[in-house]
Amino acid sequence: MLAKLMSLFLLGLIRVLTGAQARWVGCPPKAEQRIYFANHQSHADLVMIWAALPQELRHSTRAIAARDYWTKTPFKQWLTSAVFNVIYVSRERTADEDPLEPLLDALAKGDSIILFPEGTRGHTGEPQAFKAGLYNLAQKFPQAVLVPAWINNVQHVLPKGEVVPVPVLCSVTFGAPVQVQPGEACKPFLERARSAVIALREV
């Protein structure tokens, strides 16, 4: 009950602070398994894209979050696990640990996921090169629809190092799905996927 109340409170707060505008220009929101992949410039990206999804998709769509940051305090851990139902990933791993395992488990259960393929927050308007995780997930779960997204302006809501949000109009633009072509190698696909995200910036 408390998690549901917090969810409603945060949804209202996010919409007041940002407008949380969702723009579906390349595909409609649909109840199918998807991998949403987006640019990453702020900790607020996670909640922004979560708030932009329709309610009926929100409960089955899980964002990726860094375990070391989002479990640092009991409140952060409760918020991300009970309210946002995130998938924790470790940024510092042992040699025999597969960083994709938590994502593979979620996809195997039928969840959709929100992925930031840069792996870390960027400091410029251009996304950094995408890491191979997106390609590997697409190869293992070809039925999952790959939807690019551009999160606009959210870095000004919660700049790096700040804890108090600032009201700024923001939006999330969802583009046309992409897919790995037969025989397509990792690097060309990742470059194409990154270009699909950047192209939404001007839409």
Q: What is the dihedral of CA 60, 15, 30, 111, to 10 degrees?
A: -20
Domains of the chain listed by start with CATH number? 18-199 (3.40.1130.10)
Question: pLDDT per residue over 92-126, tens digit each?
Answer: 766 667 778 999 999 999 999 999 999 776 655 68
The sign of the dihedral angle between the CA atoms of 15, 18, 21, 26 is negative
Question: pLDDT per residue over 12-44, tens digit each?
Answer: 887 777 777 899 999 999 999 999 999 988 777
